[in-house]
Amino acid sequence: AIIATGPLTAPSLAQSIADATGADALAFFDAIAPIVHFDTINMDTAWFQSRYDKVGPGGNGKDYINCPMDKDQYFAFVQALLEGQKTEFKEWEGTPYFDGCLPIEVMAERGVETLRYGPMKPMGLTNAHNPSVKAYAVVQLRQDNALGTLYNMVGFQTKLKHAEQVRIFRTIPGLENAEFARLGGLHRNTYINSPTLLDPSLQLLNHITGGHIVSEDEPGKRSFQPMNVNFGLFPPVEAPKTDGKRLRGKDKTVAKRHAITARALADCREWLGQAPRTEAAA
C-alpha cells in the first residue's frame, strides 16, 4: 500500500507515524503570501522591473511589480506589522518556523532594518516614475498565473489576521486600493527524520521527504529540517569545457546544473535497474 499525506496530515495519522518512528518533533510552520489582483495595483506609483534588470527563466527583465517606500513610510509600515493583530496557534506552541518561509512580522521582530535587507531590499531597482529618487525600501510582487491577472507579494508570508492584512498592506504605495484574491496564512507541515528513518530504497510507509542535516562537527544538537530543493544540496561536479576552454560566469553555472541533472538521471536509471541511455546514432 502507498500512503500519501501532505502538510495537513490528520492528527490520527500523524500520531500513528510518530508512534511508529518514535519521533517527537515532526512539525514546522509554513506560511503563504497574499495574492493581489493586477488591475487594482496603481501603476502610476508602481513599475515593472527585475532586480538589476536580470532576465530570469522565461522572463524579460521586467518580471516584478515594484512598490517604493520612503524612510518614513517604511518605519511606519514596520511598526504596523509589529502592532497588528496576529492569529494565535496555542495548540501548536513550540512548533518551529521554516526559516525559508518566515512570516514577515516575525522578520520585523528581528530588527527594524531586517526587512530592508530581506524581501524589501531596494538595491538594483530604479523608480521608473522618479529615477532620481532612491526608494528606502521596495515591496515586490511576482506574476502568479499565466494570464498575468494575479500577483503574489514576494516574501510577505504572514500570520496577521485577515482584516489587519488588508488594512496594513493597503498602506503600501501602489496598493492603496488593492483587492486580494487570497490573503496570507499559516499552516503546520509534518515531516519525518529521513536520514534515520528511511531505508536504502527510501521507504518508510512509502514516504519520501528531504531536508538539511547539521553535520556532526558543527556545534549544537544535530538537527534535521525540511528545506526547498536546490542545486546546493547535491555533490558538486566539474563544469564541462567547451572546445577545451573553461566556462565562466553564467555559462559555467548553467553547464554545471546540466551536468548535475544528467548525473541524477543516470543515477535514477541505475537505481531503477534500467540500462544506461545511449546516444542515438547520427
Domain boundaries in the chain? 28-189, 192-271
Q: Which has more pLDDT, 226 or 255?
A: 255
Closest by CA position to 211, among listed 203, 196, 199, 220: 196
pLDDT in tens, 96-146: 666 667 889 999 999 999 999 999 999 999 999 999 999 999 999 999 888
CATH architecture for segment(s) 28-189: Beta Barrel (2.40)
Closest by CA position to 119, among listed 61, 172, 60: 172
**Chain centroid, CA 120 distance in Å:** 15
**Residue 76 and residue 139: Cα distance in Å, rounded?**
14
Query: What is the residue-averaged pLDDT of the chain?
Result: 80
Give the pLDDT of residue 168.
98
Residue with cell 512509502: 206
Confidence category of residue 231, pLDDT binned at 50, 70, 90: confident
Cell of 38: 493586477
Q: Which amino acid is at 126?
A: T
Does pTM surpass 0.85?
no
Q: Which amino acid is at 76?
A: A
For β-strands 185-190 and 180-182, DSSP reports them as unpaired
Strands (E), the chain: 27-32, 35-37, 47-48, 64-69, 137-143, 150-153, 180-182, 185-190, 212-213, 224-225
Give the pLDDT of residue 280.
46
Q: Which has more pLDDT, 240 or 51?
A: 51
> Average pLDDT of 47-68?
87
Confidence category of residue 209, pLDDT binned at 50, 70, 90: very low
pLDDT in tens, 185-199: 877 666 666 666 666
Confidence category of residue 230, pLDDT binned at 50, 70, 90: low
Q: Which amino acid is at 103?
A: P
